[in-house]
Amino acid sequence: MPKPNAVVSALPSTIPFVAPERMERESGRPFAARLGANESSFGPSPRAIEAMQRTARQDVWKYCDPEAFDLTAALARHLGIRPAEIVVGAGIDNLLGLTVRIFSEPGDAIVTSLGAYPTFNYHVNGYGRRLVTVPYRNDRADLDALAETVRRENASIVYLANPDNPMGTWHDAEAIESFAASLPGETLLLLDEAYGEMAPPSALPPLDTGRNNIVRARTFSKAYGLAGLRVGYLVGAEPICAQYHKVRDHFGVNIMAQSAALAALSDCEWLASVLAKVASARERIASIAKESGLAALPSAANFVTIDCGQDGDFAMGVLKALDARSVFIRKPMAPGLDRCIRVSCGLQQELDLFETALPEALAAAGRSRR
Distances (CA, A) of 19 to 75, 341, 345: 30, 17, 18
Choice between 232 and 332, CB closer to a second copy: 232
Choice between 231 and 318, CB closer to a second copy: 231
Q: How far is the CB of 10 from a second copy (least distance, A)?
A: 9
Binding piece for a second copy, criterion CB under 8 A, among 140-148, 159-167, 200-208, 238-246: 238-246
d(CA 32, CA 22): 15
Q: How far is the CB of 157 from a second copy (least distance, A)?
A: 8
* Contact pattern for a second copy over residues 55 through 84, marking x by CB under 8 A: xxx-xxxxxxxxx-x---------------
- Which residues are within 8 A (CB) of 162 and not within 5 positions of it... i.e. 6 or more apart? 141, 170, 171, 176, 191, 192, 193, 199, 203
Distances (CA, A) of 79 to 36, 72, 93, 147, 161: 30, 10, 22, 28, 20
Distances (CA, A) of 219 to 11, 128, 156, 243: 28, 26, 24, 20
For a second copy, the binding residues in 196-225 under the rule CB under 8 A are 212-213, 221, 225
Is residue 228 part of the contact set for a second copy (CB under 8 A)?
yes
d(CA 330, CA 32): 15
Is residue 44 part of the contact set for a second copy (CB under 8 A)?
yes
Q: For residue 21, with 0-12 CB atoms within 10 Å meaning exposed, 13-18 middle and 19 or more buried, which class applies? A: exposed
Q: How far is the CB of 295 from a second copy (least distance, A)?
A: 29
> What pairs with residue 260 in β-bridges?
none
Q: How far is the CB of 8 from a second copy (least distance, A)?
A: 5
Q: DSSP 3-state assignment of 236?
A: strand
For a second copy, the binding residues in 179-198 under the rule CB under 8 A are 185-188
Number of residues that bind a second copy (CB under 8 A): 88
Phi-psi sector, 170: left (phi>0), alpha (psi -120 to 50), beta: beta
Q: How far is the CB of 247 from a second copy (least distance, A)?
A: 4
For a second copy, the binding residues in 91-130 under the rule CB under 8 A are 91, 93-94, 97, 101-105, 119, 122, 126
Binding piece for a second copy, criterion CB under 8 A, among 7-15, 135-143, 172-180, 362-370: 7-15
Is residue 34 part of the contact set for a second copy (CB under 8 A)?
yes
Is residue 42 part of the contact set for a second copy (CB under 8 A)?
yes
Binding piece for a second copy, criterion CB under 8 A, among 34-42, 294-302, 307-315, 323-331: 34-42
d(CA 226, CA 242): 26
Q: Report the residue count for the chain.
A: 370
Choice between 66 and 366, CB closer to a second copy: 66
The answer to whether 200 and 162 have CB atoms below 8 angstroms apart is: no
For a second copy, the binding residues in 256-295 under the rule CB under 8 A are 256-257, 260
> What pairs with residue 171 in β-bridges?
none
Choice between 97 and 205, CB closer to a second copy: 97
Is residue 49 part of the contact set for a second copy (CB under 8 A)?
yes
Q: How far is the CB of 90 from a second copy (least distance, A)?
A: 6
Is residue 161 part of the contact set for a second copy (CB under 8 A)?
no
Choice between 275 and 364, CB closer to a second copy: 275
Of 224, 206, 301, 216, residue with least CA distance to 262? 224
d(CA 276, CA 355): 20
Of 370, 367, 45, 70, residue with least CA distance to 223? 45
Q: Which of 23, 32, 37, 145 binds a second copy (CB under 8 A)?
A: 37
Q: How far is the CB of 57 from a second copy (least distance, A)?
A: 6
Q: Which of 150, 180, 240, 278 binds a second copy (CB under 8 A)?
A: 240
Is residue 242 part of the contact set for a second copy (CB under 8 A)?
yes
Helix (H) / strand (E) containing 94: helix 91-102
